[in-house]
Chains A and B, each alone.
Chain A
Amino acid sequence: MINVGGLELKNPVIAASGTFGFGREFSEYYDLGRLGGISVKGLTLEPRMGNKTPRICETPSGILNSVGLQNPGVHEFVRTEIPFLRQFDTKIIANIAGNSFSDYEQMAEILNDADVDAIELNVSCPNVKDGVVFGQDPQLLEKLTRSVKDRFEKPLFVKLTPNVTSIVDTAKAAEAGGADGVSLINTLLGMAIDIYRRRPVLANNTGGLSGPCVKPVAVRMVHEVYRNVNIPVIGMGGIETGEDAVEFIIAGASCVMVGTANFADPLACIKVIDGIEEYMEKMKIKDVRELVGSLEFN
């Protein structure tokens, strides 16, 4: 067992939000109880249809996506998806997104009364009131974190966006607001152009970059944040193998999330879990905790 900000995990691998739905499809490929946890598709207060298609574009060693938070809404999640997920011995992390303080606060209250194990605050969305992205403004982020923390008794993680000048500043803001941990990185804002049509490939024009191409950026950010905050860090960005996961753990992550890798290989999370075990056996390490942040600079 590892404890990440009060969340007890049987292993350090969690399925990343938006790449795993509510687990239903993957439950046809393996027992979801093998996972440390599942961060579900980003939830909003009301159901959302999401963006127009194309919503995906392959890029060198990765993808751009612009799903636009299509989801059935938090109420439907509580009604039908939690009971489904509870059949499996794994932790349920509710990933939530909103466009106002009130959106987030209402969802926190609803989820406080529901059977979830933690909240992951997706703050990559703009606050409609002033157009500023919550996760890009440290003061706004601290305030938002505090107001969700006041309404939700279980562990709260803030998912940091890499689209900032200093991720340390936003990580510290989350910590000051009372977050039990931070998870990073969300996708990097990008664009791809169809040169024959001279138009963006994605219907939404821009999208979020993920997959192996973002891994070095993510590892660097995880390490910077690890050195500067005292709450646990959940690392992600391009993890495909146990070795990739170990790299994040050495950089300072207490556990990891696996996202885009699930697309090419539905068994990716299981392979990462097994790969970490193999590494530990080979290196004669008994407890992953020994590895966390064990990086030594040259």
Chain B
Amino acid sequence: MKTNYLCRVEELKRLTDTIWLLELDASNIREDIKPGQFFHVKCGEGYLRRPFSVCDFKDGMLRIAFEEKGRGTKALARVKQGEYVDVLGPLGNGFDIGYDRICVVGGGIGVFPLLYLLNKSEGSRKDAVLGFLCKDKVVLENEFENSCDNLVIACDDGSYGVRGFVTTALEKHLEKHDFDIVYTCGPSIMMKKVYEICKKHNIPCQVSLEERMGCGIGACLVCVCEVKKENVLQNKRVCKDGPVMWANEVYYD
């Protein structure tokens, strides 16, 4: 039977002014954790749990990177080493990792699940194209560097890496290299653009979606997104059927 887990806080590191990396002792979690899956986390006095993607999981250590935004993430940014965090998961459907030449495309806090994906993929070529607003917002650069063959960082304002949007960097990258799949996570306008670029290059694309959640396990139907499958419009639950979906089903024409 599934259950929630209490995980000990090993460390809480500040990555930027608003982004934190939480390391939890998750050796009590016996389930297989797939890239793209998430945990539904109790944050302080917030009534609902908050969903966070698995940023990395290795040797029983679960890493979650998160941005301080509202009440829940502010509380989570105050946890102390040795305290316990109540997590429910792993939840949802992760990325399809059985591809050989892979490229991950992330924007802002959307980069987090892509790190674990790169670490778990056994592909022969693994590239990452990541976009941030500016130099101060760049996170986990070393980790990505170590986990992929080729890392491109784009900053909208040109303060670091290549200048411009991540989608422009991706277009350039795809002109030079072939991939069997593109995985993307970030703001929805960015992911849609990534999908359009992939379509032009005939590369299948998977996206990781965000939606407000209640139960997180598929029962309450508050987190749905509309997808088109075999020409039929239907509601899929981001928490249970996603958060990873095929881009062509989400951004149908």
Footprint of B on A, CB under 8 Å?
Answer: 18-21, 24-26, 28-30, 41, 49-50, 53-63, 65, 67, 70, 211-212, 260, 262-267
Instruction: Provide the residues of chain B in CB contact with A262, threshold 8 Å.
Output: 215, 219
Known contacts A50-B235, A53-B225, A265-B4; A58/B47 CB under 8 A: yes
A-B contact pairs, 18 of them (CB 8 A): A19-B215, A21-B218, A21-B219, A25-B217, A25-B218, A28-B217, A53-B212, A54-B211, A55-B222, A56-B220, A58-B46, A58-B48, A61-B47, A63-B47, A70-B235, A260-B214, A262-B219, A264-B49
Instruction: State the 7 A-B residue pairs at the shortest beta-carbon distance, nearest first.
Output: A21-B219, A56-B222, A55-B222, A25-B219, A25-B218, A25-B217, A263-B215
CB–CB B214/A266 < 8 A = no
Instruction: Provide the residues of chain B in CB contact with A20, threshold 8 Å.
Output: 219
Flag B39-76 by CB within 8 Å of A: 1 or 0 each: 00010001111000000000000000000000000000
CB–CB A19/B219 < 8 A = yes
Instruction: Provide the residues of chain B in CB contact with A212, threshold 8 Å.
Output: 47
Residue B189, interface by CB 8 Å: no
How many angstroms between the C-alpha atoms of A21 and B1 in the bound complex? Answer: 18
Which among B211, B215, B216, B222 has the greatest number of chain A C-beta atoms within 10 A? B222
Instruction: Provide the residues of chain B in CB contact with A21, threshold 8 Å.
Output: 218-221
How many angstroms between the C-alpha atoms of A264 and B221 in the bound complex? Answer: 15
How many angstroms between the C-alpha atoms of A56 and B3 in the bound complex? Answer: 24
Instruction: Provide the residues of chain B in CB contact with A54, threshold 8 Å.
Output: 211-212, 222
Known contacts A54-B212, A57-B212, A266-B88; A28/B2 CB under 8 A: yes
**Beta-carbon nearest neighbor of A60 in chain B:** B47
Known contacts A25-B215, A29-B2, A54-B212; A264/B48 CB under 8 A: yes
Instruction: Provide the residues of chain B in CB contact with A267, threshold 8 Å.
Output: 3-4
Instruction: Provide the residues of chain B in CB contact with A61, threshold 8 Å.
Output: 47
CB contact between A266 and one of B4, B223, B233, B235 (< 8 Å): that residue: B4
In the complex, what's the smallest C-beta–C-beta distance from B90 to chain A, in angstroms?
13
CB contact between B220 and one of A18, A28, A49, A53 (< 8 Å): that residue: A18
In the complex, what's the smallest C-beta–C-beta distance from B176 to chain A, in angstroms?
38
CB–CB B221/A41 < 8 A = yes
* 17 further interface pairs, Cβ-Cβ under 8 Å (given A50-B235, A67-B222, A264-B48): A21-B220, A29-B1, A30-B1, A49-B233, A53-B211, A53-B222, A56-B220, A57-B212, A58-B48, A59-B47, A61-B47, A63-B48, A67-B221, A212-B47, A262-B219, A263-B49, A266-B4
How many angstroms between the C-alpha atoms of A267 and B224 in the bound complex? Answer: 23
If over half of A's interface residues share one DSSP class (helix, strand or loop), that class is named, otherwise mixed; here it is: loop
Footprint of A on B, CB under 8 Å?
Answer: 1-4, 42, 46-49, 88, 211-225, 233, 235, 240
How many angstroms between the C-alpha atoms of A144 and B4 in the bound complex? Answer: 43
How many angstroms between the C-alpha atoms of A55 and B4 in the bound complex? Answer: 25
In the complex, what's the smallest C-beta–C-beta distance from B47 to chain A, in angstroms?
6
How many angstroms between the C-alpha atoms of A20 and B211 in the bound complex? Answer: 19
CB–CB B224/A55 < 8 A = yes
Known contacts A53-B211, A53-B222, A56-B222; A28/B1 CB under 8 A: yes
Which among B213, B221, B224 has the greatest number of chain A C-beta atoms within 10 A? B221
Instruction: Provide the residues of chain B in CB contact with A62, threshold 8 Å.
Output: 47
How many angstroms between the C-alpha atoms of A148 and B50 in the bound complex? Answer: 41
In the complex, what's the smallest C-beta–C-beta distance from A22 to chain B, in angstroms?
9
Which among B214, B233, B235 has the greatest number of chain A C-beta atoms within 10 A? B214
CB–CB B214/A56 < 8 A = yes
Known contacts A25-B240, A63-B48, A65-B214; A263/B4 CB under 8 A: no
Instruction: Provide the residues of chain A in CB contact with B211, threshold 8 Å.
Output: 53-54
Which among B42, B219, B224 has the greatest number of chain A C-beta atoms within 10 A? B219
In the complex, what's the smallest C-beta–C-beta distance from A293 to chain B, in angstroms?
30
